[in-house]
Structure 1
Amino acid sequence: MFTYSFLLSAGLLSLCLPLSANAQRAAIYQEQPGTWLASVSLGTTRYAGDMNEPGDFSHLRLGASVALSGAYRLSTHAVLRAEAQLYYIYGSHEHTRIDYNNLSFHSLNPDVWAGVQVDLWPTTHRTRPRSPYLLAGLGLTYMSPKATYQGHEYDLAPMHTEGVDYNRLPLIIRYGFGYPLVTDKRWRLHLEGTYTHVMSDYLDDLSTVYPDFSQMSSLAAALSDRRSEIGLPPNRPGAKRGNSDKNDGYFIVSVRGVYVIRTRWDRGYRRSRRG
């Protein structure tokens, strides 16, 4: 909770900061159509699914992410952007209303996406060198939920813990917002918040009902129903295991370092502005 509150407060505070007295001079560093950008970002993640409680800010279960991206400014308002990311998430029934099911998972997953970033005002604005922006795009993620059982880590998807062989490479839809906290000649520092909607309910290996354990290996059955570890009787086949009404997803709040790639066109433009 502290991490999210701090980053959000920093973003809101930056909106109120006075603009630099050198805004006119900085016009030669404005991103014009045709500008190429590269960035790296570090962030904190929060999984949204069947193993957390919405609104429970005392057990956020924060993970981490790192991403690399490339972008091309299409116009003074729009940027085309592509990104590859590695993110860690985890969840547990502990501290939820259904803690008696005793399930948990953790996952280190890659994702890739491409989309558009839209500035709320143009880069050529005479008095606003920094612009908030919205972003949206489509991509793919590879799901690799794991669980620790009796001191060993197991990949859950091949275990078919609900008796189904689900797709581990689902489509994702990403959307969010960002704000440049710092702008320099060739560097920018952005604060960014996104939500990634996964077109699957198995990001956490949990969706529907408990399977027929007699059709599974003893290890798969033990990973599917872990109530016996806390002294409770096992669930019956067909008992509710997850909520299939809503797909899973994850939030990311990140800090992005953006580098303006100097090209021949870019150098010529800046020389003309200086003249």
Structure 2
Amino acid sequence: MKQFFTHILALLLVISLVATEASAQQFSKRKQYNSVGVSLNAMNYFGDVVPKASIPSLRFAATRPNIGFNFTHRFAPRISVRAALAYGRITGDDEKAADKNDADARFRYHRNMNFRNDIFEASAVGVFDLIANRNNYIKRPDFVPYVFAGIGVFHHNPKGLVRGGTIPASLSSGDYVDLQPLRTEGVDYSLWNFSLPFGGGVRYKINKSFDIGLEIGWRKTFSDYLDDVSGTYVEDSKLGGDAAKYFGRGITRTDDGTFNNFNVPGEMRGKGNEKDWYIVTGVNVNYILAPRVKSPKFR
């Protein structure tokens, strides 16, 4: 799976570079244009708190909304550059995602972790159209499939829901608590991280000024803590306070639905060998900013 996505990214980069070199010379400044847009999306996550311990596994009921704004500059028949800002939420819950009757998922059902995470993202990507537009924006093709790849930076903040077991006096049932300051695995991880966004979509021309499109994009991140779960349970000495113990040691769910506040230090808490991903799927609407055409000056 890792090699597949790496090859896809490399292919997109090579195609973009070749197409840019071949076409930039024949696309005049008068044909270049800008657009602004908004996207309404669905957001999902791949990580440790999912039905199966694999990247393709996700729980569709955990889908949450995402909204984005973008600015795009077209500078070649097939090539555009897009800068975007987006906000969305990802969630995961062992209680709802893991089946205790599934041998592979049984551990996650007993682990009983949950989280939600609000993600603010800024990204810049190159967009490669599979159908070229060698004319101005008015004569652009009606229907265009495309692919994209680039780089992003995001801020996140995983939170855990207080529920079940012996709840410390400092916590209240039903509250969401910031998990990163608790060092639930004895690890200091950053709330800022980089991502590699890539994907594809289709764009349809509504009229001379508006396009509408469908797009799906994956974000490979360099963090395994979007869900605050990665490695192993740690000793109490590495956890600060009752709140850290509550989330860090876990509220283990037994088969009969009761809870035990105990997990052995050193035992597996997360898979630990895979970085987390998130995926954004949705609809975007773009408004083309008609370029100014300079009139020739006569002397």
- TM-score normalised according to structure 2 size: 0.74
Mean alpha-carbon deviation: is it higher for 227-236 or for 133-142?
A: 227-236
Q: Which runs of 5+ in 1 are unaligned?
A: 1-30, 269-275
| Bigger shift: residues 192-201 or 148-157 | 148-157
- Corresponding letter in the other structure for 2:63: L
User: What is the aligned partner in structure 2 of residue 236 from structure 1?
Assistant: 264
Counterpart selection for 2:124 from 93, 114, 124: 114
**Corresponding residue for residue 35 of structure 2:** 37
What displacement does 1:130 show? 1.7
Aligned partner letter, 1:118: F
Q: 1:39: Cα distance to partner?
A: 0.5
Asked if the contact 1:103/1:225 (under 8 Å) is kept, the reply is no
Distance 2:94 2:290 in 1: 50
Deviations 1:194-243 (A, max 9, x none): 01111111111111011112332111010113325742351111110101
Q: Does 1:50 align with 2:73?
A: no
2:144 counterpart SS class:
coil
Task: Give the SS at the match of 2:245.
Answer: helix
Q: Could you tell me which of 276, 284, 288 is aligned with 1:260? A: 288
For 1:141 and 1:156, the matched residues in 2 are separated by: 17
- Which residue, out of 124, 140, 153, partners 2:153? 140
* Pair 1:212 & 2:235 matched: yes
Closer, same or farther in 2 for the Cα pair 1:59/1:213, shift >3 Å?
A: farther
Partner of 1:12: none
2:178 corresponding residue in structure 1: 155
Please say if 1:101 is aligned against 2:102: no
What is the CA-CA distance between 1:135 and the residue it aligns to?
A: 0.6
**Structure 2 unaligned runs (5+)?**
1-28, 99-104, 163-172
Decide which of 175, 178, 191 is 2:201's aligned counterpart.
178
Closer/same/farther in 2, CA of residues 59 and 174 from structure 1, 3 Å limit = closer
Of the three residues 230, 245, 254, the one matched with 1:221 is 245
User: Secondary structure of the equivalent of 2:286?
Assistant: strand
Please give the alpha-carbon distance, in whole angstroms, between the structure 1 residues aligned to 2:37 and 2:140: 25
Which residue of structure 2 lines up, in the alignment, with residue 23 of structure 1? none
Contact kept in structure 1, 2:216 and 2:281, CA below 8 Å: yes
Deviations 1:48-89 (A, max 9, x none): 111012466765410110000101001010001110100111
Distance 2:161 2:230 in 1: 19
Quote the residue 1:6 is aligned against. none
* 1:193 aligned residue (216, 237, 241): 216
Q: CA RMSD in A?
A: 2.2
Using the TM superposition, name which of 33-42 and 223-232 deviates more: 223-232
Do the aligned residues in 2 keep the contact of 1:32 with 1:75 (CA within 8 Å)?
A: no
Aligned partner letter, 1:116: G
| Residue of structure 1 in register with 2:277 after alignment | 249
Q: Normalising to structure 1: TM-score of the pair?
A: 0.80
Contact 1:123–1:131 (CA<8 Å) still a contact in 2? no
- Say whether the 8 Å CA contact 1:32–1:73 is kept in structure 2: no
Question: Alpha-carbon deviation of 1:252?
Answer: 1.1
The one of 124, 127, 144 aligned to 2:134: 124
2:88 counterpart letter in structure 1? Y
Give yes or no for contact 2:110–2:252 (8 Å, CA) kept in 1.
Answer: no
From the superposition, tell whether residues 32 and 162 of structure 1 become closer, same or farther in structure 2 (CA, over 3 Å).
Answer: farther
Structure 1 stretch displaced more, 210-219 or 244-253: 210-219
Cα separation, partners in 2 of 1:87 and 1:101, compared to 1, 3 Å? same
